[in-house]
Structure 1
Amino acid sequence: MLQKTRGIALSYIRYRETSIISRVYTEEFGLQSYIVNGVRSAKSKNNRIALFQPLTLLDMVVYYKNDRDLHRLSEVKTLHPFQSLPFEVAKSTIAMFVTELLNKVLKEEAGSPVLFRFLVDSILFLEESRSNYENFHLAFLLKLSFFLGFGPESALEFESQLRENSYPFLPDNQTETALNTLLRQPLGTPAPLTRAGRNELLDALVVYYQIHIDTIGEVKSLPVLREVLG
């Protein structure tokens, strides 16, 4: 049955000679996998494979059957062509990290329009920001944790949960104040952090996610993100 939905491209793998299998988080159906034929062919028009780069926002018409793990696309186009996200080093590094985490934490279940809207708004914020996005990844993970069911109500609760799991997170006053700001205020609210404080909080957040989702494992993009945005 043909269905319309919006989606967020997360990753893809090569499939046969000219096709891919793309993982997309959709508004209507949650996490889905789609066969996309011919996009790796020399004859493919308009570089369609670019539509499936990480975090691309998609408008799709799909063939959907709830008893299948692999679906097909009828139509696909971008909802919002990116002008900065794939091209600016800091933003593309953040996007790489965010995409890796989303691939690890989003599940194959019914769609969540509220979560989808949060993800779209966050991606558009990063795309459109010209300043005050150096802490985006920190604020994003904190806010996403509430949708996943383990968001901390305060910096004190965050620190307490880490200590209970034998992770020695002892932030200074500036880092603790920044953590409360990132938790409670909208994306882009200034939360001054030193390079050391930003890296310390980033490492603590990854551990916090690993405590609550034991399948996360190693986050391969973490060293690159530390280097670029630390």
Structure 2
Amino acid sequence: MLQKTRGIVLSYIRYRETSIIVRVYTEEYGLQSYIVNSVRSSKSKGSRIALYQPLTMLEMVVYYKPDRDLHRLSEAKTTYPLQHIPFEVAKSSMALFMSEMLSKTLKEEAGNPELYRFLEASILHLEEASSGFENFHIAFLLKLAAFLGFVPSSASEFESQLREHNYPFLPDESAEAALAVFLRQPLGTPVKINRSVRGELLDAVVAFYRIHIDGLGEIKSLPVLREVLS
């Protein structure tokens, strides 16, 4: 049955000679995978593969059948063409990291409009930010944890859980203050920390996710992100 839904692209893999399988977090159906035919063909009109880059927001017409792992995509167009995220190294590195973390943590195959709105608003904030977004990925993960059910109530609880799992996290005053802002203030609230503290907090937040997400595995985009932001 043909259905309309909005979605956010997380990743894709090549499928056969000219097609792809794209993973999308949809507003109506949660996490879904779609076959997109002939998107890599030299005869396809325009640069259709650009529609399936990480964090691209789409309006889609899909063939949806409950209890199937793989669906077909009939039509897709972007709701908001990204002008900065794909072309600015810092933003594109954050986008790859965010999309990989979302791929590894979003499991439900049911709609969650509140989560979808959060993701959409987060992408738009990153896209439109002209400065002061160097901590965005850290704050994003802590806000996302609220939707996943394991957000810490305070910086001290965050530190306590890490210590209980033998993670050597000993933040200084600037790191503790930054954590408090990331947890309590709206996403995008400016926080001034140096590169060393930023790297320390990023590693601690990923470790915190490992405590709560079984089988999180290697985060392949993390070394690239560290290098770009160093």
Output the TM-score relative to the length of structure 1.
0.98
Measured in 2, the distance between the counterparts of 1:201 and 1:56 equals: 27
Q: Please say if 1:63 is aligned against 2:63.
A: yes
Describe how 1:86-97 pairs up with structure 2 within 5 A: 86-97=86-97
Quote the residue 1:150 is aligned against: 150
Measured in 2, the distance between the counterparts of 1:172 and 1:12 equals: 40
Measured in 1, the distance between the counterparts of 2:145 and 2:108 equals: 17
Quote the residue 2:2 is aligned against: 2
Q: Deviations over 1:56-109 (max 9, x none)?
A: 000001110102111111211001001100000100011111111111001142
1:60 is paired with a residue whose SS is: strand
Superposition RMSD in Å:
0.8
Aligned residues: 230
Query: Identity over aligned residues, as a percent?
Result: 72
Q: Which amino acid aligns with 2:57?
A: L
Q: Which amino acid aligns with 1:220?
A: K
Measured in 1, the distance between the counterparts of 2:215 and 2:80 equals: 32
Would you identify which runs of 4 or more consecutive aligned residues in structure 1 move more than 6 Å? none
Contact 1:32 1:108 in 2 (8 A): no
Measured in 2, the distance between the counterparts of 1:15 and 1:223 equals: 27
1:68 is paired with a residue whose SS is: coil
Name stretches of at least 5 consecutive residues in structure 1 with no aligned partner: none
Quote the residue 2:112 is aligned against: 112
Measured in 2, the distance between the counterparts of 1:210 and 1:116 equals: 23
Quote the residue 1:122 is aligned against: 122
Contact 1:8 1:58 in 2 (8 A): yes
Displacement of 1:189 after TM fit?
Answer: 1.0
Displacement of 1:194 after TM fit?
Answer: 1.2
Contact 1:139 1:187 in 2 (8 A): yes
Q: Which amino acid aligns with 1:174?
A: S
2:174 is paired with a residue whose SS is: helix
Quote the residue 2:44 is aligned against: 44
Contact 1:7 1:57 in 2 (8 A): yes
Quote the residue 2:84 is aligned against: 84
Measured in 2, the distance between the counterparts of 1:89 and 1:117 equals: 25
2:47 is paired with a residue whose SS is: helix
Measured in 1, the distance between the counterparts of 2:67 and 2:208 equals: 34
Contact 2:143 2:187 in 1 (8 A): no
Q: Which amino acid aligns with 1:182?
A: F
Quote the residue 1:229 is aligned against: 229
Output the TM-score relative to the length of structure 2.
0.98
Quote the residue 1:198 is aligned against: 198
Name stretches of at least 5 consecutive residues in structure 2 with no aligned partner: none
Measured in 2, the distance between the counterparts of 1:105 and 1:185 equals: 23
Quote the residue 2:180 is aligned against: 180
Quote the residue 1:24 is aligned against: 24
Q: Deviations over 1:43-67 (max 9, x none)?
A: 0001111101111000001110102
